[in-house]
Amino acid sequence: MFEKSLYDLIRGIRSHKGNERQYVLDSLKECRNEAKSQDLDIKATAILKLIYLDMFGHDMSWASFHTLEVMSAPKFRQKRIGYLAAVQSFRIDTDVLMLTTNLMKKDLTSGSVPEMSLAINGLAHIASPSLARDLSPDLVSKLSHSSPNIRKKAVLVLYKCFLQSPELLRTCWPKLRECLNDEDPSVVSATVNVVCELARRNPKNYLPLAPQLFKLLLEQGNNWMTIKLIKLFATLTPLEPRLIKKLIPPITNLIRTTTAMSLLYECINGLIEGGLLAGISNSVDAEELASVCVMKLRGFLVEGDSNLKYVGLVALTKLVATHPHLVNQHQDVILECIDDTDISIRYRALELAVGMVDVDSLPGVVTKLMRQLKPSKNGDQEYVELEGAEEDEDEDDMEDDVIHPSRSTRGKVVALELPDDYKRSVIEGILEMCRRDMYANIADFEWYLDVLVQLVRFVPPVQRSEEEDEEIVQAGKDVSDDIGFELRNVAVRVRIVRPEAVRCAELLLSRRDGIFPSAGGGGLRVLGPAAWIAGEYASLLPNPHATFDYLLSPLSTTLPPAILSIYIQAASKIYSSLTSSLKIPWDPARKSTLTLLTDRLITFLTPLASSPHLEVQERAVEFLELFRLGLEAIQGQPASTDKETYDPPLLLTQAVPSLFIGQELNPVAPGAQRKVPLPPGLDLGDFINPDLASLLASADHDPALTEAYDPEDSKFAKFYFEKAKPLISATGFGYRSSLVPASQKIDSAAAGSYQSSPGPDVDQDPEAVARKRRERRERNRDDPFYIFTPGDVSDGEIDAIPIMELKLDEGEIPPNLAAAKNKVKRKPKERVEIAADEGIDGDEDGNGNGDDVAPAAVKGRKKKGLLQVDSTALEGFSLDDTEEKERDRKEVERSRREVERLRREMEAAAKRVQEQKEVESGAVGQEKVKKGKKKKVEAEGDGDKKVKKKKKVKEGEQTEGGEKPKKKKKKKKKVKSAEEESEEVEKVVE
C-alpha cells in the first residue's frame, strides 16, 4: 500500500537534482521487487514505472515475462499497461514472444472492442513471421467486423503481417480487396494506403484495380485519400500508358481548383513522377498544363513558409528536365531563394539554377552566385535571426534563461556564415552550368576564363584529419582540381582564346601569394594545370623569363609532389623555348644569359634528384643529366666576335627542342582506345616471355663472380641471396653453413618435403628410418615454428595429416569496382571553333570532360516505404500463383523422372548382383565335386589307412540291402534378408 506510483517517481527524479542516477538505481531495485508480486495492481504499477525509465535508457528486457503476465490480466487498465510495455520492449528475438500467440488470439476473439483494439495495435509493433502466420486468419475475420474502427485497424496491421510473411498476401488479398467497397470512408482510405505501399514494390499486381481506383478518385472528397490515389496511379501509369489520357482531366481540375497546398503539390508531383507530362508532350494541352504547374509552384516560392519553398523548389527541379524554358521565366523568384537564410533552401535553389540556365541567363546567374562567395564587407554582411521562444518550451530551459540571461541566444541577430560545403557546391554548380553540352551556353570565352581565375580566390580551405594522407585529401576534396581542368580544357579546345588562357595561367603562377588563400591550402591544385599550359604553349607567354623564375622559386619545392613534377616538366619546356632560337646571335651576352639560366635550373633540380617521391625524382634526375650536358656544351662553344661567327650549340637548338616539339596534343574521346583494332596474331592474354622463371633463376647472384671484384658487395649478396642451412655435425648438435643459390631453394624444398617421400609400399631399413627421424627432431629442436608431438611419429602418420586447400581466388569482387560509362551528350551549338574529341573513324563519343570512366554509382540504402519499414520482401512477389504452380509442376515432374531413373538403375544393379551370386554358387559346387573325386581316388590307392566313401547312388537305384541310401545333408547357405539385399543394391548404385 506504500508503493510509489509513476507520479511519485517523476517527482522524486526532479527533487534529486545532481543525484538522479542513484535515485533511479534505487527505483529500479524497487521495481524488480514489485514486479515479482502476486498482486497484479502492484505488478502493473512496476511495469508502468519501468516503461518510463526505459525511455531514459534503462533496459527493461529482463521484465519480459512479467510484461506477459500483465498483458493477460483481466482488467483493461492493467492489460493496456502490459501491451504498452510489450510495444516498447519486445523485439522479434524476444524469448517470450512465442507465448503471446494464444494470448493475442484470445484478445482478438474477445467481445470487447477496446481489447480487440489493444491486440491489433500491439501486433502491429511486435509482429514476427510466426505471429503473422498464426494470427492472420483472425485478422481477416475482423475485416467484416461491425465496428469500422476494428476494420480499419485490421486492414493496416495486415500490411505489417505481409512484410513479415509475404505468402499471406495471396490468401488475404480477396478479402482485402473487398474493403475498397466498404461503406465507411476511413476503411477505404486505410485500404488505399495499404495498396499504395504494396504497389511501390510490385505495381503489376494491382493494375486490375485501376477502374475501381479511378472511380474513387472522382467520387472521394478526402484530400489525404486523393493524395494516396495520385501516388498509386503514378506507379501504375508506367505499366499502362493508356491511363494517362484518363487521369489528365481530373488531375488538371484538382490543380486548378484545390486550395490545399499539400494536394496541389502531390498533383504536380504525380504528373511528373508518373510521366503524365512526358506522355502528352506531343499534344496541344501539354504546354498549357506545364505552364499552369509552373505558375502554381511559383506561388509556393513567394509564400513566407520555408517548407512550401522547399517542396516548390524540389518540384521545379524535377520539372526543369522536361520544360527548362518555362522554369527559366521565373528565375527572378528562384534567384531570390538563393539568398534565403535557410541553407537547405539555398541548396535546392542552387540545384534548380544549374538546370535552368541558358545562353542569356548564364552571366546573371553566375554573377549572383559569385557574390555569395566573396568575403562580406561591413555593409554587405548578411544576418539571420535566431529562433525565438516557443509556447511549449520546457520549464527547465525557461528557468535557465531567467537565471542566466546572458546565455540566452533566442531572438538575436547574428551574422550568416556559409559552410564550406555550400561554397564548394556553388563553385561546382558554376562549372557545371558553364561546361554543359560542350560549352553550349558560353558566348564569351574570355569572360569564362576571367570567372575561372576569380573562382580560385574563393576556394574554401581543405579539411584534413591527422591520419589522412595529404595527397589523397587534396585530390579528393579540393574543388580547384575542377577549376584547373576547365582552364586546361579551354586552352586545348578553343584555339582563338589560347593566348588569353596562357595569360591567365601566367597570372596564377606569378601571383601565388595574392590569389590563393593564406591558410588551408585551398586552390593550390590549380597550379598544376596552369604550369602545364605555360609549358605546353611557352611560345605564347607574354613574359617567359618571369614565368621561368616563378617556376624555379624556392617556394615551389613546398608544393605537393604531383604539382612539383609538372613544374619540372614545364620549366624544361620554357627553357627549351628560350634557348632554341636561331635568330638571336650567339654573342657573349647570350652565352652568359644561357649559362645563368642553365645553372639556375641545375641548382633547382639537384636537391629534387633525391626526393622521396618517385615521379619527382625520376624527372629531376633525367633533366639534371641533360642540362649538365647542356652547360658543358655552352661553356665549350666560343661566342661570336667581329671576326668570327659561331652558331649556338646543337644540343640547345636541336636536341633539347626535339624532346618537346611534335604533333599538337588534341583531346581524345574516352572510348577511342577501346576501338583500336588489335594487330593480327596478338594475344594480350599471353605471357610476354614464357621463359621468365628460367631467366629469374639464371639471374640469381653468383658469389664466385663478385668476390673477385668487390668483397663488400659479396658480403651484401651473401646476406640477401644466400641462407645458412642448419645441419647436424658429426660430433654434436650444431649448425653448419651451406650456401645455396636462391633459384634452387624451391626445388630443394620440394625434394625434401614429406609429400615427395616414398610411399609405404617402398621397403626401407628400419634403422635408417629411425636415424632420419632422430636427425629431423634434432634439426628442428630450435625451430619456433615446429610443433613437437609426444611419442614417436611414423612417416605414415605424417603423410596422413590432412591438408586443406585455400581458395584465395574465389573472393567476392567489391561492387564498387564496377565502373559506369559516360553518358553521350548532344552536340553543342557552334559559336566558336571548339576542338572535339578525336576517335576512331571520326567517332566523337566523348563529352569533353576528359573522364575516361564515369564514377561508379553509389550503392544506396535499402528502399523503405512511407511508413519507414523495410519492404524488400514484397519486391517481385506476384499475386498470380499460376507461374509458381507451373514451376512447382515442372519440378515435381523432374523429380519423378529422376526417381524413375534411379529405380531402373537399382533394379538393374539388383539383377547383376543376383546373377553374380548364381555364378559364384555354381563355381563353388563344381569345385566341391572335383575335390570329392580327388579324395576318392586317393582312398582307393591307400585302403588300409582310410575307409572308402560310399558312392552316390543315383535316383532310382538301391543298395545291397535294398535300402535307399540316405542323402547327405548339405549346409544351407545363409540367405540374406531383404533389407541387406536392398542395402547392397544401393551401394552398387552409388
Q: Kindly list the averaged pLDDT for each block of 10 residues, start to end, along the chain of length 990.
A: 79 89 91 91 93 91 92 93 93 88 92 92 92 92 93 94 90 91 92 92 88 89 89 89 88 90 91 80 76 91 89 92 87 89 92 90 91 69 50 46 47 67 92 91 92 90 55 59 94 93 93 67 85 93 92 90 94 92 86 92 94 93 93 88 85 88 80 83 81 72 50 57 48 41 42 43 66 80 62 49 49 42 43 72 48 38 47 62 71 87 89 84 63 53 44 42 44 46 50
Number of independent structural domains in the chain: 6
The pLDDT of residue 925: 60
**What grid cell was written down for 604?**
633547382
- Report which of 325, 330, 335 is spatially closest to residue 364, judged by C-alpha positions: 335
Last residue of a domain, one of 89, 109, 126: 89
d(CA 524, CA 470): 13
CA 529 to chain centre: 32
The pLDDT of residue 715: 59
Half-sphere exposure in the Cβ direction for 82 (13 Å, CA): 29
SS3 content of the chain, % helix, strand, coil (to 5): 60, 0, 35
- One domain, residues 509 and 561: no
Last residue of a domain, one of 768, 791, 818: 818
- One domain, residues 10 and 70: yes
CA 853 to chain centre: 17
d(CA 328, CA 325): 5
> What residues does 414 pair with on adjacent strands?
384
- One domain, residues 42 and 137: no
The pLDDT of residue 374: 82
Amino acid (1-letter code) at residue 231: K
Structural domain range at position 537: 434-463+476-542
Does 825 map to a domain? no
- One domain, residues 133 and 23: no
Does 181 map to a domain? yes
Supply the Cα-derived Rg of the chain in whole angstroms.
Answer: 46
Beta carbons within 8 Å of 500's beta carbon, 6+ residues apart: 445, 446, 449
Classify burial at 742, counting beta carbons within 10 Å of its beta carbon; exposed 0-12, middle 13-18, buried 19 or more: middle
Encode pLDDT of 526-563 as tens digits: 999 999 999 999 999 999 999 999 999 988 998 999 99
> Residue 66 to residues 59, 60, 103, 243, 702: CA-CA distances in angstroms?
14, 10, 14, 55, 82
567-595 CB burial, b ≥16 within 10 A, e <16? bbbbbbbbbbbbbbeeeeebeeebbeebe
- One domain, residues 678 and 805: yes
> Residue 161 to residues 89, 156, 872: CA-CA distances in angstroms?
19, 9, 14
- One domain, residues 140 and 169: yes
Does 119 map to a domain? yes
Give first-to-last CA distance, the chain, whole Å.
Answer: 76
Amino acid (1-letter code) at residue 524: L
DSSP 206-250: GGGGHHHHHHHHHH---HHHHHHHHHHHHHHTTT-TTHHHHHHHH
Does 232 map to a domain? no
DSSP 874-914: GTT--S--HHHHHHHHHHHHHHHHHHHHHHHHHHHHHHHHH
Does 63 map to a domain? yes
Count the residues in the chain. 990
- One domain, residues 694 and 713: yes
How open is the CA angle 231-868-211, to the nearest 5 degrees? 25
Half-sphere exposure in the Cβ direction for 390 (13 Å, CA): 5
Does 356 map to a domain? no
- CATH number of the domain enclosing 159: 1.25.10.10
**What grid cell was written down for 548?**
621561368
The pLDDT of residue 918: 82
Tell me if 479 sits within 8 A of 430, measured CB to CB: no
- Report which of 429, 427, 474, 488 is spatially closest to residue 455, judged by C-alpha positions: 427
The pLDDT of residue 694: 77
- One domain, residues 64 and 150: no
The pLDDT of residue 84: 94
- One domain, residues 84 and 106: no
The H or E element that residue 916 is part of is helix 882-941
**What grid cell was written down for 925?**
559346387
Does 308 map to a domain? no
- One domain, residues 887 and 984: yes
Q: Is the dihedral of CA 938, 940, 941, 947 positive or negative?
A: positive
The pLDDT of residue 848: 45
Does 358 map to a domain? no
Last residue of a domain, one of 818, 843, 869: 818
- Report which of 194, 135, 184 is spatially closest to residue 159, judged by C-alpha positions: 194
- One domain, residues 65 and 101: no
The pLDDT of residue 523: 81
- One domain, residues 63 and 97: no
